[in-house]
Amino acid sequence: MARTQTLVQLDDILLSLLDQRAAQRGVSRSQVIREAVEAHLASDHESEISRQILAGYERIPQSTPDEWGDPSRFTAAAARDAHRRLDAEERSAGHEAW
């Protein structure tokens, strides 16, 4: 992949930290900077995806019935089943059910 050289101005402290990191990892300053920029941009991209997912749930809340059924009925049934199984487990262990 072709690369373009760019000038980045850093203060002495940041340059020192950059050099330390590069030396620890045995890579160049440029490599550390590239990785940092990639991570920063990837974080922005992930944040945008998360924002879009949240916007979708705001438009159509998770509890909205659809062609698969009513999620609140499913979750209520699942909760009842979990409580029933936990009660049975408690009784089989010799404990009184709640």
Q: What percentage of residues in the chain have a pLDDT greater than 70? A: 98
Q: Where are the domains of the chain?
A: 10-59, 66-98
Third-level CATH fold of 10-59: Arc Repressor Mutant (1.10.1220)
pLDDT digits (tens, 9 = 90+) for 75-94: 888 899 999 999 999 989 99
Distance CA 53, CA 66 (A): 18
Phi, psi of 9, rounded to the nearest 5 degrees: -95, 130
**pTM of the complete model:** 0.51
Q: What's the DSSP call for residue 97?
A: P
Q: What's the DSSP call for residue 26?
A: T
Measured CA to CA in angstroms, residue 33 lies from 15, 49, 85, 94, 95 at distances of 11, 24, 54, 61, 60
